[in-house]
Structure 1
Amino acid sequence: MAKFFDQLEPQHIEFIQEQKIFFTGTAAQDGRVNVSPKGMDALNILNPKQIAWLNMTGSGNETAAHLKLVNRITLMFCAFDGKPLILRVYGTARTIHKQDGEWQDYIETFGDNAGARNIFVVDVESVQTSCGFAVPLMDYKEDRQILADWANKKTEDELSDYWKQKNVNSIDGFPTGIFE
């Protein structure tokens, strides 16, 4: 049975820190709903009411665009090993870009950040847990290094050029704010 909480409880934080992957969900008022898998040790729990996650360079930048239009986000974590559990974090978020003054304060809290594009700071409004009985059991092998290897071969100017080509607007044409 699903249970709701006003913030992340200690057992939620412990569960989140054990996961190798999480999913983000956002949507604008129109267009596509975006659900993205995230990994690479890119999430920091700042306190029971706030989470920061590092968004790496990718072929799209939907989350940033959606949050500019409709400020709501869901993060989902699910156990692929051990005791079954699904944990959803509902809230709002702000996007921090490299040109923003806060960037340096947050970027230093993340490990490998090759290709870092945005940081999202999520304000937790509620947390929901549910059973996860239908989530398959899987064995974790290792993180993929393809994105980090690709980004490490790029200069800052090359990454910026890639963002200009692929990340200025969402797939629905909404601006992401990456160069504002």
Structure 2
Amino acid sequence: MGKSYDRLTDRLREFISAQPVFFVATAPEAGGHVNVSPKGYADTFAIIDDTTVAYLDLDGSGVETIAHIRDNGRVTVMFCAFAGPPNIVRLYGTGRVVTPHDDGFDELITLFGPHPGVRSIIVVSCDRITDSCGFAVPFMKYDQDRPLLDEWAGRKDVQQRRTYRATHNRESIDGLPALSPGETDPVHRRS
């Protein structure tokens, strides 16, 4: 049976920290496509306090999460146990996008491991925290992180990243604005 929490307990923090993958779900306010994105790299997720979490948003083929959060702020982050006892933890809340040019970015970036291709940091203020059984989630073996995204971003120079972001990250598939022209300029440092 599912349970709701006012805050991230030590047990929930331990569970979240042990998961090699998490999923982020968002949707635009006025129709459009619901988006669910898988996220990896254990050092890209951080618990800031009892009701606030953040994750490192890396370059990718789409920009739905940024566009949807800027549209209405709604976001859900989900963790599933693919090994060990069955469990699913969902963090419902309001997100905000922190780009390298925003106040607070320099402090937040220290929470994460080194990765090239950092677009932003997504900070989520949780207003509902739940867990449930996960009885139907299959057992799956974790071997290792795929290095492909970091390798891909690491091969791009500043102009190539700027061009890629300008081409693929300015708006969502539904035409919502995402990264502004100034936000497509890559930071000259890794996380």
Structure 1 match to 2:36: 35
Checking the alignment, whether the CA contact within 8 Å between 2:169 and 2:179 is kept in structure 1 is no
Q: What amino acid is aligned across from residue 22 of structure 1 in structure 2?
A: F
Q: What amino acid is aligned across from residue 86 of structure 1 in structure 2?
A: I
- Contiguous gaps of at least 5 residues in structure 1: none
Structure 1 match to 2:75: 73
Structure 2 match to 1:103: 105
| Displacement after TM superposition at 1:156 (Å) | 2.4
Checking the alignment, whether the CA contact within 8 Å between 2:26 and 2:35 is kept in structure 1 is yes
Q: Deviations over 1:95-141 (max 9, x none)?
A: 01122232211112211221111100110111111000000001101
**Percent identity, aligned pairs only?**
43
For the residue of structure 1 that corresponds to 2:173, the secondary structure is coil
Structure 2 match to 1:170: 172
Q: Deviations over 1:147-175 (max 9, x none)?
A: 10111111223212110000000011100
Q: Runs (4+) of structure 1 moved beyond 2 Å?
A: 177-180
Whole-Å separation in 2 of the counterparts to 1:149 and 1:32: 29
- Contiguous gaps of at least 5 residues in structure 2: 184-191
Q: Deviations over 1:35-78 (max 9, x none)?
A: 00001121000111110100110010101100111111100000
Whole-Å separation in 1 of the counterparts to 2:50 and 2:158: 34
Structure 2 match to 1:17: 17
| Displacement after TM superposition at 1:80 (Å) | 0.1
TM-score where L is the length of structure 2: 0.91
Aligned residues: 180
TM-score where L is the length of structure 1: 0.96
Whole-Å separation in 2 of the counterparts to 1:176 and 1:96: 12
Aligned pairs for 1:40-51 (under 5 A) are 40-41=41-42, 42-51=44-53
Q: What amino acid is aligned across from residue 137 of structure 1 in structure 2?
A: F
Checking the alignment, whether the CA contact within 8 Å between 2:96 and 2:122 is kept in structure 1 is yes
For the residue of structure 2 that corresponds to 1:45, the secondary structure is strand
Whole-Å separation in 1 of the counterparts to 2:48 and 2:126: 11
For the residue of structure 1 that corresponds to 2:111, the secondary structure is coil
